[in-house]
Amino acid sequence: MNQTEQIIYHPIGIIHSEHTEQENTPIQGIFNPSKGFIELFSDYVPGLETLEDFSHIILLYHFHQSSGSELIREPFLDGETKRGIFSIRHFNRPNSIGFSIVDLLGIHENIIKIGAVDILDGTPLLDIKPYVYRFDHREEVSDGWVEKNHLDDIADWNATPKGLRDRSRAKK
């Protein structure tokens, strides 16, 4: 396989959330209590069997409002420093695939209620995987450039009412 080859996927559902504006969507779900739901296309409902006993799920989705691929850019809320795209979570990536760990709140037919949602309303869903503590948990992690100050900035920004957020800090 080389970089001209096409890998083709199809949406399996749509993620719904209260986040309708890209610049006001919270950064990282773990810091905010926002709820939402997945509308899974009905063909895929049999694949949900035995998922409901997990407390957390991994969502892979398509950043449908990505405005193109960038290799170097500033992260959210850190407009000072440009960084390599693979060291940040920004959506303008070579392949615009998003990754979130969300709380699984309940499943009813093709509707999956989720919490701790940092995903834009209307986002096409590509995959759901169970979050398994022993597989996905790491200790002794070095977080590179993501220091405590930056995490505090994110928590503050998420906690600020939308109208009062300083948008100049939310670089796109």
Within residues 66-125, the interface with a copy of itself by CB under 8 A covers: 71-72, 82-89, 93-95, 97, 99, 101, 124
Decide whether 133 or 166 has the Cβ nearer to a copy of itself. Answer: 133
- 112 CB contacts (<8 Å, ≥6 apart)? 37, 38, 40, 48, 57, 104, 106, 128
Span of 16-24, 134-142, 162-170 interacting with a copy of itself by CB under 8 A: 134-142
Report the alpha-carbon distance of residue 119 to residue 102 in Å, rounded: 10
Decide whether 18 or 52 has the Cβ nearer to a copy of itself. Answer: 52
**Interface with a copy of itself includes 159 (CB under 8 A)?**
no
Q: Are 91 and 98 in contact (CB under 8 A)?
A: yes
The number of CA neighbours under 13 Å toward the Cβ of 141 is 9
Decide whether 86 or 108 has the Cβ nearer to a copy of itself. Answer: 86
Decide whether 60 or 111 has the Cβ nearer to a copy of itself. Answer: 60
By CB under 8 A, the residues from 9 to 68 that bind a copy of itself are: 9-12, 14, 28, 30, 41, 43-44, 46-58, 60, 62, 64
Please state the separation of Cα 86 from the chain's center in Å.
15
Give the pairing type, strands 97-108 and 111-115.
antiparallel
H or E element in which residue 100 lies: strand 97-108
Binding residues with a copy of itself: total (CB under 8 A): 72
**Interface with a copy of itself includes 149 (CB under 8 A)?**
no
